């Protein structure tokens, strides 16, 4: 809105409608006689108008800054901190919950990986539909054509979930945490090989830390498990396959973030259900009865299915309240408390050498995040 001084200047003919000083009128070009005093007075009027505009501009800028700083900083600060804490909590607790479920041992129960993950998927689908019905999230209704096109991506997703769950049965939380970093190497290599994406020196240095740290940490692992590291390798490849295929598929299929959560969990449920039936897992679940389905175990299994969905909400909240850079940094630093809390809760014996190598691998993940953000 035009300032009062601008309107006064325009009324005097000193400023144009756009608020710019007007050229000297023709009466001052010598075509009509004017006195020297009149000409000097006209020049002074123009200078006064310019000074008024400059002063008002400074006041408006100061007012804008004052308005920004006088906003309820406590409220903004709380929103930022709360979103970061929610994202970190969901990310960490999801790992710990699955570790607790995977290591739950019942006499004669055997391996129930497929059926337990299947139950978590059903919980996630129910949450998606419930939040959609409450108009808290939006995504398109189920479409058979989209489901058919998304199936190849979902096969990677299913493999990623199952292999991650099985890995926790054999490896400690710290070892799983640092080993998952190797997935980034597969993704970057595939991008370089097939998409000609350049790899910076910073990324290569990060990979050197990751590989050396993970290799020697595994080598010095007190409870080395070849089965566990095999499934960890499967998890790295299926996770990389999921990320890469999802990138490619979303170029032709328009799915929101929660649309992907819905289709991933919905499509993978009958796949795992069929495999679990062939393995006889549901019969074992029934026979185990209350020996397995204690209130605590039931709660943690439902929570594990819920937290994957809640993690997506927390991710969107964190990015919206902070920035993509902060989100990436928080994601990298989450690995530290995850490893420490996992080691403490599950009492995983770790040698000092293993701790040193884990630290090296963690440093590699920090360097990788910084290299991707700063492009060095």
* pLDDT single digits (tens) 135-184: 888 888 888 999 999 999 999 999 988 898 888 888 888 888 888 888 88
The full DSSP string for 260-288 is HHHHHHHHHHHHHHHHHHHHTHHHHHHHH
Q: Is 174 exposed, middle or buried (0-12, 13-18, 19+ CB in 10 A)?
A: buried
Contacts of 174 (CB under 8 A, 6+ apart): 339, 340, 342, 343, 348, 350, 358
Helix 295-321 × helix 113-133 angle, to 10°? 50
pLDDT at 300 over 70: yes
pLDDT value at position 110?
A: 60
Helix (H) or strand (E) holding 148: helix 144-170
Look over the chain and give the mean of its residue pLDDT values, rounded to a whole number.
Answer: 75
Spatial distance between the Cα atoms of 69 and 52, rounded to a whole number of angstroms:
26
Residue that is written with structure tokens 């649309």 in the block = 259
pLDDT at 325: 64
For residues 80 and 63, give the distance between their C-alpha atoms in angstroms, rounded to a whole number.
25
DSSP string covering 291-351:
GT--HHHHHHHHHHHHHHHHHHHHHHHHHHHS-HHHHHHHHHHTHHHHHHHHHHHHT----
What per-residue confidence (pLDDT) applies to 225?
81
pLDDT at 54 over 70: no
Residue 68 scores a pLDDT above 70: no
Q: Are 358 and 174 in contact (CB under 8 A)?
A: yes
The sign of the torsion formed by the CA atoms of 182, 225, 173, 108 equals positive
Work out the angle at residue 349's Cα, subtended by the Cα atoms of residues 107 and 294, and round it to the nearest 5 degrees: 30
If you ran DSSP here, which 8-state letter would residue 140 be given?
A: P
Is residue 36 over pLDDT 70? Answer: no
Most confident of 50-64, 107-121, 297-311: 297-311
Q: Assign 1 a pLDDT band (cuts: 50, 70, 90).
A: very low
Residue 40 has a pLDDT of: 57
pLDDT bucket at 125, cuts 50 / 70 / 90 = very high
**Computed over its alpha carbons, how large is the radius of gyration of the chain?**
31
CA distance 320 to 372: 20
Asked if residue 179 lies in contact with residue 214, where contact means CB atoms within 8 angstroms, the answer is yes
pTM, to two decimals: 0.71
CA dihedral 29, 33, 39, 45 (to 10 degrees): -90
- Tell me the sheet residues that pair with 15: 21
Can you tell me which residue has the tokens 């993690």? Answer: 311
């Amino acid at each position: 809105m035009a300032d009062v001084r601008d309107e006064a200047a325009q009324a005097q003919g000193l400023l144009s409608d756009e608020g710019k000083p007007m050229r000297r009128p023709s009466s001052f070009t010598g075509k009509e006689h004017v006195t020297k005093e009149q000409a000097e007075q006209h020049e002074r009027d123009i200078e006064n108008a310019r000074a008024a505009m400059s002063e008002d501009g400074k006041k408006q800028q100061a007012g804008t800054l004052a308005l920004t700083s006088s906003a309820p900083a406590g409220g903004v600060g709380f929103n930022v901190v709360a979103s970061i804490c929610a994202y970190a909590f969901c990310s960490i607790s999801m790992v710990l919950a699955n570790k607790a479920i995977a290591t739950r041992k019942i006499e004669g129960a055997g391996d129930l990986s497929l059926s337990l993950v299947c139950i978590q998927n059903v919980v996630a689908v129910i949450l998606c539909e419930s939040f959609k019905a409450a108009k808290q999230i939006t995504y398109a209704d189920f479409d058979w054509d989209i489901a058919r096109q998304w199936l190849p991506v979902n096969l990677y997703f299913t493999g990623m979930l199952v292999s991650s769950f099985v890995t926790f049965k054999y490896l400690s939380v710290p070892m799983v945490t640092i080993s998952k970093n190797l997935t980034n190497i597969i993704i970057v290599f595939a991008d370089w090989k097939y998409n000609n994406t350049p790899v910076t020196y910073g990324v290569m240095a990060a990979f050197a830390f990751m590989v050396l740290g993970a290799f020697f940490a595994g080598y010095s692992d007190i409870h080395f498990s070849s089965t566990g590291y095999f499934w960890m390798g499967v998890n790295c490849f299926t996770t990389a396959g999921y990320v890469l295929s999802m990138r490619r598929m979303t170029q032709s299929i328009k799915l929101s973030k929660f649309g992907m959560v819905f289709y991933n969990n919905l499509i993978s449920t009958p796949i795992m259900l069929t495999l679990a039936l062939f393995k006889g897992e549901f019969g074992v679940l029934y026979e185990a009865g209350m020996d397995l389905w204690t209130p605590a175990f039931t709660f943690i299994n439902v929570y594990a299915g819920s937290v994957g969905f809640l993690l997506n909400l927390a991710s969107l909240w964190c990015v919206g309240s902070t920035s993509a850079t902060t989100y990436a940094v928080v994601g990298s630093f989450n690995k530290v408390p995850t490893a420490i809390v996992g080691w403490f809760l599950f009492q995983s014996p770790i040698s000092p050498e293993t701790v040193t190598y884990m630290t090296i691998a963690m440093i590699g993940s920090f360097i990788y995040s910084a290299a991707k953000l700063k492009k060095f």
